[in-house]
Structure 1
Amino acid sequence: MYELLIVDDEASSRDILASCFPWDEQGFHVCGQKDSGQEALDYLKDHSVHVILTDISMPGMDGIELAKSVSELEGARPMVVFLSAYDNFKYAQNAIRYGVRYYVLKPTNFSELKEIFGTIRHELDAKYNVSSDDTQDYSTDEIIQKVLSYLSQNYREGSLSSLAESLYLNPSYLSQLIKQKTSKTFSDLLGEARMKQAALFLKDPDTKIYNISNMIGYVNPNNFARAFKAYWGVTPTEYRSHEK
């Protein structure tokens, strides 16, 4: 299931959108309803959202401003779909400017929603290499396993932003989830992955220690040596001698 956030200052409109359309049949789960752009933006800090269906005309931060803010987010960004009672060319121009390609007119039409979100579903499936009948919905434990798997393969140049993008998660949310589930930061886990890989490389006596430093992502061999000793309690040279 892909996560859908509905944003509209009219509670009745939000409720109708959330409850009167078979979102689950289209592969979407309504993860929340917000009455302003700012509330939606705050929600994105701690939650994973794939699509935002937002009214344009709202008090405070309107849909245009929300789309602009979303377009400036780092890492994976949710798609934005505009919802409006007005077929206004100015809105269409702003939509294009901020990467919004879908525009739904009020009152919403069942067949129009089905067509638009069917297209969006196919785009998301293609983006994440998911078959249309097997959309992935990871549990938090599965996400952590994917984090560890990513680090074991990307210890040299791994980054939170690239990992979050591969999982289609907000980097801030992913960072908090990692901390909550492991009591460690992403940087802690990346450091551990590097030290474990360095220990494996040290078992080969022909591989120079300064090369190992570079192989696991350290530019400065001295920084590598300090980090290695802090983790293993011995220097790389001492560790290698113990392995003989």
Structure 2
Amino acid sequence: MIQALIVDDESLVRKGMRLLFPWDRYGIAIAGEAATGQKALEFIRSRPVQLLLTDITMPGMSGLELIKEVQRHDSSIKVVILTCHQDFDFIQEALRLGAVDYIVKTQLEKLDLDQTMERMLRAVRQEAPANEASGGTGASSLRRKTEEAEGVAWIVDDALFGSLMEALRDAGRREASDWARTAALSFKRWKLSFPMYDWHEESAPPTEPEALEIWWRKLRGNVQGWLRRSGYSEDVISAIVKAVERIVSQAGAHLKQSEISQSVSLSKSYFSTSFRDITRMTFTHFLQTVAIGNACEMLLMTNYPVYSIAEKCGFADQRYFSKMFKDQTGLLPSEYRQAHQERG
């Protein structure tokens, strides 16, 4: 879940923001509230936040000053400003400082909430700033590590896995809980990366740091053993895992087998054979499985119509998409969305 913080000196505004927007449906959790900029900074320094919604005019530290401080602390945090009126001088200054959107509080009831939520979601999902690649500190460094953990390259990359485990061991109590949450959320993506692996044999990730490291190392060994039973060399297995990670991370990007095989330095025919043998799925079947998995997420996290989701997931024909979706999930896309909304 994306963690969000609401900052406004008026308690009714904070309550209204909490209740009015369909946060859960878009995968956003309101991690907390703050009545002042200083309280907001204390909160952000104590736990990771990906989205900040802040009033511009507040007693003490203004929203503009808060944006500057937040950017210094973690430039990857996306900021949406709240204002009582369309004061374009303030709004332009906030956007110049890095805010990605603004909401006029007096027009909340007139807003297209789904459209507003989708804008916020797109902003948060944009790639992290390039300066994080140099290492970074604090929450930005943690986020970079957890993003690496969400992939599957650590299964075959000893240096990457060692770095992740070192970061886990060095994490404080608060960060350790973030790692546990990352592992739990990533479990679904790992399953999507290797659908034919027997995930039922694996227990859910524990929450204690020491136990989590032991669990993670055991999982890595199990998946490595499964991959190696294909009989291919370490280099070929690594190439296929790299291809799998790229496909899952770019779901819906209309990737071609020739493009993927070239990116991992394997001939198209050899890639096709080794991909099937190592993942136990054909390349085409794997693409379809990943696309349906991505569609499931979009059905739950957005309000896009089914035809739009089909298109975004690489299906030109909505009827074919619905058939494939039902084959894999047992439900039509509309039924899947309704069933999960009723449970929520």
* 2:40 alignment partner in structure 1: 40
Does structure 1 residue 174 correspond to structure 2 residue 180?
A: no
Q: Do the aligned residues in 1 keep the contact of 2:100 with 2:123 (CA within 8 Å)? A: no
1:127 alignment partner, SS class: coil
* 2:79 alignment partner in structure 1: 80
1:13 alignment partner, SS class: helix
- Determine the C-alpha separation between the residues in 2 that align with 1:5 and 1:172: 21
- Determine the C-alpha separation between the residues in 2 that align with 1:87 and 1:104: 9
Give the 5 Å matches for 1:119-198: 119-125=119-125, 127=127, 146=149, 149=154, 152-154=158-160, 174=175, 181-182=208-209
* 2:332 alignment partner in structure 1: none
- CA 1:112–1:67 in 2, change beyond 3 Å: closer, same or farther? farther
Following superposition, the deviation at residue 173 of structure 1 comes to 5.2
Residues matched between the structures, number: 160
Q: Which moved more, 1:119-128 or 1:2-11?
A: 119-128
- CA 1:5–1:110 in 2, change beyond 3 Å: closer, same or farther? farther
Write the letter of the residue equivalent to 1:103: Y
Q: Do the aligned residues in 1 keep the contact of 2:80 with 2:100 (CA within 8 Å)? A: yes
Show CA shifts across 1:88-128 (max 9, x none).
Answer: 12212321221112011122245344322212213434538
- CA 1:61–1:182 in 2, change beyond 3 Å: closer, same or farther? same
Show CA shifts across 1:168-196 (max 9, x none).
Answer: xxx99537967x9548xxxxxxxxxxxxx
* 1:67 alignment partner in structure 2: 67
* 1:206 alignment partner in structure 2: none
* 1:95 alignment partner in structure 2: 94
- Determine the C-alpha separation between the residues in 2 that align with 1:92 and 1:60: 19
Give the 5 Å matches for 1:204-243: none
- CA 1:113–1:72 in 2, change beyond 3 Å: closer, same or farther? farther
- Determine the C-alpha separation between the residues in 1 that align with 2:81 and 2:113: 12
- Determine the C-alpha separation between the residues in 1 that align with 2:43 and 2:64: 17
Looking at CA atoms only, which structure, 1 or 2, has the larger radius of gyration?
1
Show CA shifts across 1:106-157 (max 9, x none).
Answer: 22245344322212213434538xxxxxxxxxxxxxx6x949x59943389x
* 2:182 alignment partner in structure 1: none
* 1:195 alignment partner in structure 2: none
* 2:56 alignment partner in structure 1: 56
Instruction: Using structure 2 for the length normalisation, give the TM-score.
Output: 0.39
Unaligned 5+ segments in structure 2 are 129-145, 180-206, 211-344
- Bigger share in helix: 2
Q: Which has the higher contact order (CA 8 A, sep 6+)?
A: 1
1:67 alignment partner, SS class: helix
Following superposition, the deviation at residue 14 of structure 1 comes to 0.6
Q: Do the aligned residues in 1 keep the contact of 2:5 with 2:49 (CA within 8 Å)? A: yes
Instruction: Using structure 1 for the length normalisation, give the TM-score.
Output: 0.53
- CA 1:38–1:113 in 2, change beyond 3 Å: closer, same or farther? farther
- Determine the C-alpha separation between the residues in 2 that align with 1:146 and 1:22: 29
- Determine the C-alpha separation between the residues in 1 that align with 2:122 and 2:160: 29
Q: Do the aligned residues in 1 keep the contact of 2:51 with 2:124 (CA within 8 Å)? A: no
Indicate the percent of aligned positions where both proteins have the same amino acid.
28
* 1:9 alignment partner in structure 2: 9
Q: Do the aligned residues in 1 keep the contact of 2:56 with 2:83 (CA within 8 Å)? A: yes
- Determine the C-alpha separation between the residues in 2 that align with 1:98 and 1:174: 28
* 1:196 alignment partner in structure 2: none
- Determine the C-alpha separation between the residues in 2 that align with 1:19 and 1:41: 23
* 1:205 alignment partner in structure 2: none
- CA 1:30–1:176 in 2, change beyond 3 Å: closer, same or farther? closer
- Determine the C-alpha separation between the residues in 1 that align with 2:112 and 2:97: 22
